[in-house]
Amino acid sequence: MNTPTLETKRLILRKFTEQDMEALYLILKDEEVNKFLPWYPIKNIEETKKFYEERYASKYAQPQGYAYAICLKEDNFPIGYINVDMEEHHDFGYGLRKEFWHRGIVTEAGKAVVGQVKKDGLAYITATHDKNNPRSGNVMKKVGMRYCYSYEEQWQPKDIPVIFRMYQLNFNGNTDFVVWSVRNVLYTL
Ligand SMILES: CC(C)(COP(=O)(O)OP(=O)(O)OC[C@H]1O[C@@H](n2cnc3c(N)ncnc32)[C@H](O)[C@@H]1OP(=O)(O)O)[C@@H](O)C(=O)NCCC(=O)NCCS
């Protein structure tokens, strides 16, 4: 199953489609929203289409995946995204247009996506955030993730040193299991 549509009290979580390029552009063009993400703000609809092909359409072509557009129920128009990667880390990531921050929208979406991946049998998810982006860490905590360690990386493509905080949530009952995938761990508190 790939990105099965989910409904919460206020939201529809669904696949992005080719009809959503304007909506996706509004999410990806904002400097502040994209500051802590591994790409530069998108400049036009052409770049948005490329982003969609590389990061969404290609994922939807796989047998399993979780790459959601976050939409309010009232208009089903994407205002953000939330994903769980199918690679080894099962990285959990999200972003939302600034106008919609401070309303609990990503936490509501996150709980639904976590419920779905758990139901589908993933063993765990992980997530990392720049230590200067604590709002993202708050979402991780609110969906039940546990802080594990911090590490430093010369982060690409922006080529800046970043201290990341790594969170994990296990679904297989093994509360101690941690994905130690990086060498440059700085500390665990
Ligand atoms: C990270 C990000 C998604 C967090 O957005 P957010 O709106 O703070 O997330 P939440 O959904 O958890 O909302 C929490 C806020 O909503 C408030 N809230 C209002 N109604 C709420 C409700 N019904 N339920 C829960 N919280 C509610 C909370 O009190 C909290 O308020 P605060 O922002 O004043 O502390 C957002 O900052 C973002 O898009 N950043 C840019 C992209 C990014 O950095 N992504 C992560 C990369 S690692």
| Percent of the chain scoring above 90 in pLDDT | 90
Instruction: Identify the band that residue 102 occupies on the pLDDT scale cut at 50, 70 and 90.
Output: very high
In contact, 78 and 24? CB cutoff 8 Å: yes
Instruction: Identify the band that residue 173 occupies on the pLDDT scale cut at 50, 70 and 90.
Output: confident
The residue whose CA is least distant from atom 42 of ligand 1 is 95
Tens of pLDDT, residues 10-59: 999 999 999 999 999 999 999 999 999 999 999 999 999 999 999 999 99
The three-class DSSP label of residue 79 is: strand
Q: What is the CA radius of gyration of the chain?
A: 16
Could you give the count of Cα atoms lying within 13 Å of 144 in the half-sphere of its Cβ? Answer: 14
The residue whose CA is least distant from atom 15 of ligand 1 is 102
Q: Which atom of ligand 1 is nearest to the CA of 107?
A: 11
pTM of the model: 0.95
Question: Does residue 146 have a pLDDT over 90?
Answer: yes
Residue 177 CA to ligand 1 centre (angstroms): 28
Q: What is residue 43's predicted lDDT score, i.e. its pLDDT?
A: 97
> φ and ψ at 117, to 5 degrees?
-70, -35
Instruction: Identify the band that residue 183 occupies on the pLDDT scale cut at 50, 70 and 90.
Output: low
For the segment 58-87, the average pLDDT, to the nearest whole number, is 97
Pocket around ligand 1 at a 6 A CB cut-off = 33, 36-37, 93-96, 101-107, 129, 133, 135-136, 138-139, 142
CB atoms closer than 10 angstroms to residue 27:
25
For the segment 148-167, the average pLDDT, to the nearest whole number, is 94
The residue whose CA is least distant from atom 35 of ligand 1 is 102
Residue 82 makes CB contacts below 8 A (sequence gap 6+) with: 13, 68, 70, 92, 93, 94, 106, 109, 110, 113
For the segment 73-81, the average pLDDT, to the nearest whole number, is 98
Question: Does residue 101 have a pLDDT over 70?
Answer: yes
User: For the chain, which domains are there?
Assistant: 6-187 (3.40.630.30)
Q: What is residue 188's predicted lDDT score, i.e. its pLDDT?
A: 73
Q: Which atom of ligand 1 is nearest to the CA of 95?
A: 39
Tens of pLDDT, residues 105-137: 999 999 999 999 999 999 999 999 999 999 999
Query: What token pair was written down for 55?
Result: 């990061």
The three-class DSSP label of residue 53 is: helix
> φ and ψ at 156, to 5 degrees?
-110, 155
Query: What token pair was written down for 83?
Result: 């994903």
DSSP state letter for 74: T
Q: What is residue 77's predicted lDDT score, i.e. its pLDDT?
A: 98
The residue whose CA is least distant from atom 31 of ligand 1 is 102
In contact, 41 and 31? CB cutoff 8 Å: yes
Q: What is residue 174's predicted lDDT score, i.e. its pLDDT?
A: 80
Residue 11 CA to ligand 1 centre (angstroms): 15
Q: What is the mean pLDDT of the chain?
A: 95
The residue whose CA is least distant from atom 20 of ligand 1 is 103
Question: Does residue 180 have a pLDDT over 90?
Answer: no
In contact, 28 and 51? CB cutoff 8 Å: yes
**Cα dist from 178 to 81, 169, 174, whole Å:** 26, 9, 9
